[in-house]
Amino acid sequence: MTNLITYTWKIETLTPLHIGSGIRLRQGFDFIADKDKIWVADQAAIYEHLIDRAESHAGRHPTEIKNLIRMTLDDIVKNKWLELQDFNLAPAGVFSYVLKGTPSATEGRGEVQAFIRDGFGRPYIPGSSIKGALRSALLRHLARQTDQPIDVCRKPTHRGYDGRFAATIVEKNAYVGDERGRDKKPQDPNLDIWRAIRVQDAQPVPVETLELANAIVFPAQSNSRTVAAIPVDLEVIPEGVIFTAAHQIDQWLLASEQARSVITFPQEAMKRMENLIRTVNEETVELLNGEQGYLKSLNDRGITGWQEPARIRAMLVKVLKDLKANEMLISIGRGTGWNAKTLGKLLQNKQLKQNSSPYDFNQLVADFRLGRGKWRKDMEIPFTRLLATTHTQVRAPMGWIKITMEQQ
């Protein structure tokens, strides 16, 4: 009898989703913008294809052929090495895929941040991205339910303190179990309850699924004056795309007497794990309620443009209200923001401590340079959001997905 319980997932994107690969595509080098499309070149094929054409073309001088290998994609177009027939997605063609959309930058200096791909160039959702979002949601929920102060870990660096380790103690207390004959150790994966949850990568979708999103930091302000927003162009999975995935629960590790004789996981985390969907949805309620307060503050300050994200927030609230018992709503990837990826407002609203001593939020801001050191406890923070515009959604909050689970 297997000790693994498997759940299949259907993941539906509700707003533009970007999970970056770290690759930046440059206009004139990696892609050509033509009207409302971006043609992304196959760098491995384009020069071989064009050199073969040049060698068979009687009107081309040998020097021109030699210079071809030094040309950028922009130069190739200007020197008319590409023909109208080249603008297709044939298997032996010079373009890998096409993005629907127009770059934000002018004068041909656009840059697009690429979506993560598998070995065949197909976009997918890493299981680690979803598992990280679930882990953060559960951690916020556990911190919200306790009266204990939040214990901040300060790991010094040459520039102050390293924010990547700030939640080490909180995570240790929430997730790390007690092992017989061994003390707890921060960030020990062998003792972490999430070791029992294995989230698979989502199955990839065709590269043609990708679209171009023009994202902006909203609202853009300088010294209380509204200024032009600096756009960021991203490859995104648009709303309405379906992925399939799965996760497994190691029931032996969580529930067997043998495992319990060796390791005891924190009971609160165990209880919330058993009701993970409900726990995640309760945290989503908190996030969406917080966004309502944020959007109201923009209106009160006379800032325009908040209506579009407000409409999409209302759509998400309706989706949340209509969820079935096996469905959850969560945000992942880029643009989900401070409140979704950290303890968020709890750091402002709850007591803090550091090495058993009281610790103030304003000191936390100074130590970790939060908001460039400008955040304060009584502020509505963070001040801005990253919003994405595609051909179907305008100024949309990013990364919202609905997950439907079925036990096998």
Task: Give the length of the chain.
Answer: 408
Q: Do residues 146 and 266 touch, judged by C-beta distance below 8 A?
A: no
Domain final residue, candidates 92, 111, 130: 111
Domain final residue, candidates 111, 142, 172: 111
Please name which of 76, 65, 83, 84 lies closest in space to residue 43, comparing C-alpha atoms: 76
pLDDT tens, the chain, 408 aa long: 468 999 999 999 999 999 999 999 999 999 999 888 999 998 878 878 777 777 776 555 666 667 777 788 888 888 888 877 888 887 777 899 999 998 988 777 789 999 999 999 999 999 999 999 999 999 999 999 999 999 999 988 877 789 888 998 999 999 998 887 676 565 677 889 999 999 999 999 999 999 999 999 998 764 444 545 678 999 999 999 999 999 999 999 888 888 888 888 999 999 998 899 999 999 999 999 999 999 998 888 888 889 999 999 999 999 999 999 999 999 999 999 899 999 999 999 999 999 889 999 999 999 998 888 889 888 888 889 999 999 889 999 999 999 999 999
Supply 247's token pair. Answer: 């996760």
**143 in the same domain as 101:** no
DSSP string, 25-94: EEBTTTEEEETTEEEEE-HHHHHHHHHHHHHT-TTS-HHHHHHHTT--HHHHHHTT-S-GGGSS--TTSS
Instruction: For 156-223, list the strands marked E by DSSP.
Output: 156-157, 160-161, 178-179, 197-199, 211-218, 221-222
Q: Which domain holds residue 185?
A: 4-19+122-407
Cα(124)–Cα(244) distance, rounded to whole angstroms?
10
pLDDT at site 223: 43
**209 in the same domain as 144:** yes
- Look at the chain and report how many structural domains it folds into: 2
Pairing mode of beta strands 111-115, 231-236: parallel
**224 in the same domain as 93:** no
Whether the ω angle into residue 382 lies within 30 degrees of 0, i.e. cis, is yes
Residue 200 lies in a domain: yes
**147 in the same domain as 105:** no
Residue 24 lies in a domain: no
**Phi then psi for 239, rounded to 5 degrees?**
-65, 150
**H-helix or E-strand spanning residue 255:** helix 251-255
Q: Do residues 384 and 306 touch, judged by C-beta distance below 8 A?
A: no
**326 in the same domain as 223:** yes
**216 in the same domain as 363:** yes
Q: Is 159 exposed, middle or buried (0-12, 13-18, 19+ CB in 10 A)?
A: exposed
**97 in the same domain as 126:** no
Supply 16's token pair. Answer: 């533009």
Inter-residue long-range contacts of 273-277, CB under 8 Å, 24+ positions, other chains counted: 273/138, 273/193, 273/197, 276/134, 276/138, 276/328, 277/325, 277/326, 277/327, 277/328, 277/405
Domain final residue, candidates 69, 88, 111: 111
